[in-house]
Amino acid sequence: MQPGFAFTVEATDGVARVGTLTTPHGAVPTPLFMPVATMASVKGVDIGRVAETGAEMILANTYHLHLRPGEQAVTEAGGLAAFMGWRGPTLTDSGGFQVFSLAQQVKVTEEAACFRSHLDGAAVELSPEKAVGIQERLGADIVMQLDHVVALPGVPEAVADAMRRSLRWAERCRAAQQRGDQALFGIVQGGLDPDLRRESAEGLVKLGFPGYAVGGLSVGEGPEAMREALAATVPWLPSDRPRYLMGVGQPQDIVMAVGLGIDMFDCVLPTRCGRTALVYTFQGPLKLKNACHARGQGPLEEGCPCLACRHTRSYIRHLFLAGEMLGPVLASIHNLTFYQRLVTRLREAIVAGRFAVVARELLAAWAGQRPGDGEA
Predicted confidence pLDDT, tens digits, the chain (376 residues) = 778 999 999 999 999 999 999 999 999 999 999 999 999 999 999 999 999 999 999 999 998 999 999 999 999 999 999 999 999 999 999 877 777 676 667 888 999 988 888 888 888 899 999 999 999 999 999 999 999 988 888 899 999 999 999 999 999 999 999 999 999 999 999 999 999 999 999 999 999 999 999 998 887 788 999 999 999 999 999 999 999 999 998 999 999 999 999 999 999 999 999 999 999 999 999 999 999 999 999 999 999 999 999 999 999 999 999 999 999 999 999 999 999 999 999 999 999 999 999 999 999 999 877 776 543 2
CATH of region 33-267, choose from 3.20.20.105, 3.30.1360.120, 3.40.630.30, 3.20.20.140: 3.20.20.105
The number of helices, as runs of H, and strands, as runs of E, in the chain is 14, 16
Angle at 285 between CA 282 and CA 287, to 5 degrees: 145
Q: How far apart are CA 341 and CA 362, in angstroms?
A: 13
HSE on the CB side for 97, CA within 13 Å? Answer: 20
Altogether, the residues listed in the chain come to a count of 376
316: helix, coil or strand? helix
Examine the residue annotation and report whether 263 is marked as an active-site residue of this protein.
no
Task: Considering the candidates 13, 93, 141, 263, report the single residue annotated as catalytic.
Answer: 93
Q: What is the pLDDT of residue 372?
A: 61
**C-alpha distance across the termini of the chain, in Å:** 38
Locate CATH 3.20.20.105 in the chain: 33-267
Examine the residue annotation and report whether 240 is marked as an active-site residue of this protein.
no
Buried residues in 40-50 as b, exposed as e (16+ CB within 10 A): bebbbbebebb
For residues 24 and 142, the answer to whether their CB atoms sit within 8 Å is no
Distances (CA, A) of 314 to 230, 272, 334: 41, 21, 15
For residues 55 and 35, the answer to whether their CB atoms sit within 8 Å is yes
Q: How far apart are CA 25 and CA 51, in angstroms?
A: 15
Q: What is the pLDDT of residue 102?
A: 64
For residues 291 and 64, the answer to whether their CB atoms sit within 8 Å is no
Amino acid type, 72: Q
Q: Name all contacts of 166-170 with Cβ < 8 Å and 24+ positions apart.
A: 166/200, 166/215, 167/200, 167/203, 167/204, 168/110, 169/128, 169/145, 170/128, 170/145, 170/203, 170/204, 170/207, 170/209
Distances (CA, A) of 137 to 72, 78, 178, 260, 325: 7, 10, 11, 34, 34
Task: Residue 179: count other Cβ atoms within 10 Å of its Cβ.
Answer: 15
Q: How far apart are CA 321 and CA 291, in angstroms?
A: 11
